[in-house]
Amino acid sequence: MKPKVVVAEKIAQAGIESLEEEFDVVLAIGMEREALLPLLSDAVGLVVRSATDVDLEMLEAGPDLQVIGRAGIGVDNIDLDEATSRGILVVNAPNANTISAAEHTMALLLSQARNVAAADASLRSGAWERGRFQGVELHGKVLGVIGLGRIGTLVAQRALSFGMELRAYDPFVAEERVRRLGVEPVELEVLLSEADFITVHLPLTDETRGLLDADGLAQAKPGVRIVNTSRGGIIDEQALADAVKAGRVAGAALDVFAAEPMTESPLFDLPEVVVTPHLGASTTEAQDKAGTDVADAVAAALRGELVLSAVNLDLGRGVTDEVGRHLLLAEELGKVFMSAAGQMPEQLRISVEGRLAGEPVQPLGLAVTKGLVSAATDEPVSFVNAPTLAERWGLGLSFEMTEQSRDYVSLVRLSTTDENGEEVAVAGTITQKGMVLTEMFGHHFELPLGDHLLVARNDDVPGVIGRIGTFVGDLGINIADMVVGRPDQGTTAVMGLVLDRPIPPEELTRLIALDGIVTARSI
């Protein structure tokens, strides 16, 4: 039977059909909570939007859950701490509404600058007041962008097309990248003092809550106009209303509020303020993309892949394209290392060489850990619970980086020192052939990382290669590839084979007993 995924809220039909290709999809859309809970008893995946409260009770009802998908960005309705402690990956669709949110930001920016909402209400009431609603142009004005992530970047690009001058404050984005966008990076105080318009694109955290309070607004350029489509609570709404009434702030446009639904606010009585009920993602395209994106993320997670949109993974500064290319290699090297070492190391050195050494490599450590633990236990292992499981063995990781690599553009090497004081190491890289194992048992070679490997250390004497080939052939196992690493010194060599299927454990014992074979590992 296919693994079971429960879809508790409406998502795009294309997303459902995508999931149905690999999973048994149970539609529980609009179902009462009491009826939904029993459906989770054997489910491995759950897809929700914002209406389903995924709390402790629901998590306990789904003991086999591996992934929870939120069709949207916010995950306030999911108990992240409890899901993480249970090894459940929580994924969302962070890119689904980026264009819609950026376009809504521009809509609010223009509506506020040209008094669209107030003029519309006036005309509908029977008045024709052209002189009352004189606005301002965007062209030539300074737009301060607070938060230059995906949405902030799209807003900046669109504002440039209006002829605006751009300033941005985001301590987590490199100045070089900011300048490449045609934006001048500045500190927050400078942005506040120079911007004619301010747009906010930040997550709500302890650090950003109340960022624009009475003191912050007092630092702003007189006559500034402020837009917020990110999260309520970043701007103190009472302080903003007071600043508008006092004339220090010329106007504002808000799509989000500290408490939602919001039906009463001191801002609602001010004609200089444009408000909408959290419509940033409310487009047909964004809603459809949220469904398809989260379906793809859930499927990838259930295949054991690292989902970059996972909310409850610590990926450090994020995953660059170069690091992303090497994640599967790092995971596979973890599995190979466990085969070579035979046990979980107390301390593992991850050496990163070449171009990869200049990247944020923390995600590689997570991938290596998952590979190690996957090879050491029969328990289900995910990127979420791998670090917790590794702690049971007391695994410690350390990184060594060098931008010099003798033979490859980039190389990942795992090593430890065993109880005899000898180094145990494996290494690999990515070439035109794909992922290749480049070191094992102290020998260097290039063995493609196929699904089934046999790596043998043997006496460097005639006849051994033929002996191994004959043995494998007699088992009816085809050899897809083979390499030999001869010693620079000493008397043993290494032979690596890529096989169509694994050698049974009892046959591996017979192989090791062959004349000239020192040891062998089936990986």
Q: For strand 165-169 and strand 142-146, is the pairing parallel, antiparallel, or unpaired? A: parallel
Which two tokens mark 118?
A: 């107030």
**Do residues 76 and 11 both lie within one domain?**
yes
- Both tokens of 510, joined, read 């017979």
Which helix (H) or strand (E) segment holds residue 153: the answer is helix 150-161
Q: What is the pTM of this model?
A: 0.68
Whether 63 is covered by a domain: the verdict is: yes
pLDDT the model gives residue 317: 66
Specify the CATH number for the domain of residue 516: 3.30.70.260
- Cα–Cα nearest to 4, from 51, 50, 65, 52: 65
pLDDT value, residue 188: 97
The last residue of one of the domains, among 413, 440, 467, is 440
Q: Which residues pair with 479 in a beta bridge?
A: 499
Our count of domains for the chain comes to 4
- DSSP element (H, E) containing 237: helix 237-246
The answer on 229 and 105 residing in a single domain is yes
Task: Based on the fold, state whether residues 244 and 139 are members of the same structural domain.
Answer: yes
Q: List, for residues 239-288, the tens digit of each pLDDT value.
A: 999 999 999 999 999 999 999 999 999 999 999 999 999 999 899 999 89
The residue out of 389, 408, 440 marking a domain boundary is 440
Q: Tell me, what CATH number does 295's domain have?
A: 3.40.50.720
Q: Is 238 part of a structural domain of the chain? A: yes
Report pLDDT for 489: 66
Q: Is residue 445 part of a domain?
A: no
Residues 6+ apart with CB under 8 A from 250: 223, 224, 225, 244, 272
Asked if residue 447 belongs to a domain, the reply is: no
Q: 465 and 495 in contact (C-beta within 8 Å)?
A: yes
User: Are both 422 and 456 inside the same structural domain?
Assistant: no
Do 270 and 331 have their domain in common?
no
Inside any domain, residue 487:
yes
pLDDT tens digits along 201-249? 998 888 999 999 999 999 999 999 999 999 999 999 999 999 999 999 9
For the four alpha carbons of 300, 177, 287 and 200, in that order, the dihedral sign comes to positive
Shared domain check, 289 and 257: no
Task: Supply the pLDDT for residue 320.
Answer: 82
Where are any strands of DSSP class E within 297-451? 347-354, 396-402, 410-417, 423-431, 434-440, 443-448
Q: How far apart are CA 471 and CA 516, in angstroms?
A: 13
Strand, coil or helix: 45: strand
Domain-embedded: residue 310: no
CATH code of the domain containing 331: 3.30.1330.90
pLDDT along the chain (523 residues), means of 10: 95 95 96 96 95 96 96 89 90 92 98 97 96 96 96 97 97 90 96 98 91 96 97 96 97 96 95 96 92 95 85 79 90 92 92 91 92 88 86 91 88 91 92 91 88 90 91 93 79 90 92 92 88
Q: Mention every residue, 6+ apart, whose C-beta is less than 8 A from residue 506.
A: none
Residues 267 and 120 in one domain: yes
Domain housing 81: 4-94+285-302
Q: Identify whether residues 256 and 117 lie together within a single domain.
A: yes
If asked whether residues 144 and 260 sit together in one domain, one would say: yes
Which pLDDT belongs to residue 204? 87
Question: Active-site residues: which are they?
Answer: 231, 260, 278
Q: How far, in Å, are 25, 455, 458, 466, 508 from residue 13 at the CA level?
A: 12, 47, 57, 56, 49
- CB–CB of 475/500 below 8 Å? no
With respect to residue 311, please indicate whether it lies within any of the assigned structural domains: no
Buried b (16+ CB within 10 A) or exposed e, 193-207: ebbbbbbbbbebeee
Among left, alpha and beta (phi > 0; psi -120 to 50; other), residue 324 is alpha
Rg for the chain, CA atoms, rounded: 29
Between CA 389 and CA 370 the distance in angstroms is: 9
**126 and 261 part of one domain:** yes
Cβ 445 vs Cβ 484: under 8 Å: yes
Could you tell me which residues are beta bridge partners of residue 458? 493, 517
As given in the structure block, the two tokens for residue 448 are 């493609």
Instruction: Pick the last residue of a domain from 394, 413, 440.
Output: 440
- In whole angstroms, what is the distance from residue 149 CA to residue 161 CA? 19
Q: Is 308 domain-assigned?
A: no
Q: Do 328 and 224 share a domain, yes or no?
A: no
Same domain, 298 and 338: no
Is there a contact between 442 and 455 (Cβ–Cβ < 8 Å)?
Answer: no
